[in-house]
Amino acid sequence: MTAGSDRERLTGLLSALKAAEIPALALDALAAGADCEIEGPVGLARMKSLFARRERNSRNAGQPSIGFAEGVRALEAYDGPHCVIAYINDQPRGGYFFQLFLTPDVSGVITCFGVKPVPRKEAPAESE
């Protein structure tokens, strides 16, 4: 798929989710020109394990996120051998990196969540 067709496909899929908070933020990112891509099919068992671990690590590191724990639960509940992954990167505008998991035929969203970079700790001020 091309970037334009990915943007159109993701906009349509997210619009169908009835203005929930996370899809609305992702739609705003798309409208503002955020990079996006539908990457392709992956094994669901691997994604469940990988993103459960990433969610724990993110939470432990204090990384800001929206819907991450809920997204992992939705991924765990999905019954199928494969999914298609996609992303929307709104971080250059100070927004979230949205990770999307789509049905294998790319007709629906299994889950969507967003993460921001881990906050940097400020170095202590030097004494004079």
Single out the residue of 76, 73, 56 nearest to residue 65, CA to CA.
56
What is the tens place of the pLDDT at every residue in 66-125?
Answer: 999 999 999 999 998 999 999 999 999 999 999 999 999 999 999 999 999 876 666 555
Residue type, 43: G
H or E segment and range at residue 13: helix 3-15
pLDDT tens digits, residue range 43-55?
A: 999 999 999 999 9
What's the whole-model pTM score?
0.86
CA distance 37 to 15: 17
Whether the Cβ atoms of residue 55 and residue 32 lie closer than 8 Å to each other: no
Tokens of 21: 């908070």
Confidence label for 2 from pLDDT (cuts 50, 70 and 90): low
The residues with which 99 forms a beta bridge, in sequence order, are 87, 113
Is residue 65 within 8 A of residue 113, CB to CB? The reply is yes
Q: How far apart are CA 128 and CA 108, in angstroms?
A: 59
Q: What is the pLDDT of residues 4-60, one digit of tens each?
A: 799 999 999 999 987 688 999 999 999 999 999 999 899 999 999 999 999 999 999
Return the bridge partners of 38, or none: 86
